[in-house]
């Protein structure tokens, strides 16, 4: 009797998406784009080995207050208030593992995008730098995966909104959309989220890990700004509208990924009730706005803060960041 083939467990952990974009040879080996060669030199100087430079011997209690407990919008939620001390600790563990899991999945998306940019970039300096970013992103996937596996022992699936945005970036054939989506939007929001975690975390290994990752990410955002500078000045009205639509959709997706309904469902909460509480929480509303404090000024620098985009940013209540200084934020965190 014939038996059904046994599927390879590795295949169950893979997902294939169809991508198509132009691969560009760059026969001009000179310094074409001002600032990129200096950024490449900085990237070479600042490479680090996570195996040796992070103290993985530090013992981490995954149920301890790694992040301050007051940073929890469900403190007054009835079902949560019924939790005993052990259940509260388990919920705290799940929340942190979910957050770091989204960092992990986002970093893999950045790894795949950076590898595409090596082929798609139209200048040799950009190819040089994108190759260093590919190494950076591999290291970031490595450290978040190791922390989740060895210290928290809990990994969550990717949030659907984050997955949708990464798929859009990876499958779009236009090289500038990959820059705009990853370097300006995803990396910009990640920098703000990492900065928040770095300032609030009470566990030394995650603080050190995140600070090293932020130092890389700061360069990645600069890579996007330098590469796209002046690019959008001469594009057609239809092309500009495409970029406006992309920015608007991406910002909606990134904002809506922060609710964490799957954590709530895991602990038996009503996900719709939790979503309402999180969206109404003044603390979470402010946090969601602050995540865009690097995105908005960089969109403006690129000439993409058009009336349509401005209207959406006003609706999202993030337009107040348009004149913020991301470099000053980096200096304040000791990254510059």
pLDDT in tens, 236-294: 999 999 999 999 999 988 877 666 788 989 999 998 898 888 888 888 888 888 889 99
On whether residue 154 sits in a domain, the answer given is: yes
Rounded CA-CA distance 327/329 in Å is 5
Q: Which two tokens stand for residue 211?
A: 């600070």
Q: How far is CA 193 from CA 34, 105, 190, 292, in A?
A: 29, 14, 5, 10
What value does the mean pLDDT take over residues 26-37?
A: 90
Q: What range defines the domain where residue 139 resides?
A: 34-48+64-332
On whether residue 3 sits in a domain, the answer given is: no
pLDDT score of 281: 85
On whether residue 168 sits in a domain, the answer given is: yes
Checking if the pLDDT of 5 tops 50, the result is: no
* Measured CA angle at 40 (ends 35, 44), to 5 deg: 150
Q: How many domains does the chain divide into?
A: 1
On whether residue 219 sits in a domain, the answer given is: yes
Entry pTM: 0.93
CATH value at residue 230: 1.10.620.20
Q: Tell me: the pLDDT tens digits for 302-319?
A: 999 999 999 999 999 999
Q: Tell me: the pLDDT tens digits for 62-92?
A: 999 999 877 788 888 999 999 999 999 999 9
User: Are the C-beta atoms of 250 and 283 separated by less than 8 Å?
Assistant: no
On whether residue 299 sits in a domain, the answer given is: yes
């Amino acid at each position: 009797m014939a038996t059904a083939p046994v599927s390879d467990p590795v295949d169950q952990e893979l997902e294939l998406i169809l991508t198509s974009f132009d691969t560009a040879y760059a026969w001009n080996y000179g310094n074409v784009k001002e600032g990129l060669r200096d950024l490449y030199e900085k990237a070479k100087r600042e490479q680090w080995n996570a195996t040796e430079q992070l103290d993985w011997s530090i013992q981490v209690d995954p149920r301890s207050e790694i992040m301050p407990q007051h940073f929890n919008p469900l403190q007054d939620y009835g079902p949560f208030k019924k939790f005993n001390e052990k259940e509260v600790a388990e919920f705290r563990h799940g929340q942190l593992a979910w957050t770091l899991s989204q960092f992990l999945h986002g970093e893999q998306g950045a790894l795949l995008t950076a590898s595409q940019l090596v082929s798609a970039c139209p200048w040799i300096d950009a190819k040089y730098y994108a190759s260093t970013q590919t190494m950076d992103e591999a290291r970031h996937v490595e450290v978040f995966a190791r922390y989740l596996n060895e210290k928290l022992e809990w990994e969550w699936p990717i949030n659907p909104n984050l997955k949708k945005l990464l798929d859009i970036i990876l499958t779009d054939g236009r090289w500038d959309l990959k820059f705009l989506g990853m370097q300006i939007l995803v990396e910009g929001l990640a920098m703000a989220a990492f900065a928040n975690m770095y300032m609030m975390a009470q566990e030394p290994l995650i603080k050190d890990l995140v600070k090293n990752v932020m130092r890389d990410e700061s360069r990645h955002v600069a890579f996007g700004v330098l590469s796209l500078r002046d690019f959008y000045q001469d594009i057609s009205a239809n092309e500009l509208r495409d970029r406006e639509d992309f920015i608007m959709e991406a910002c909606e997706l990134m904002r809506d990924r922060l609710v964490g309904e799957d954590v709530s469902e895991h602990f038996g909460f009503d996900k719709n009730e939790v979503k309402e509480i999180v969206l109404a929480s003044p603390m979470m509303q402010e946090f969601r706005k602050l995540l865009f404090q690097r995105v908005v000024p960089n969109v403006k620098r690129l000439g993409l803060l058009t009336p349509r985009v401005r209207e959406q940013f006003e609706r999202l209540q993030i337009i107040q960041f348009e004149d913020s200084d991301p470099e000053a934020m980096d200096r304040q965190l000791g990254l510059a």
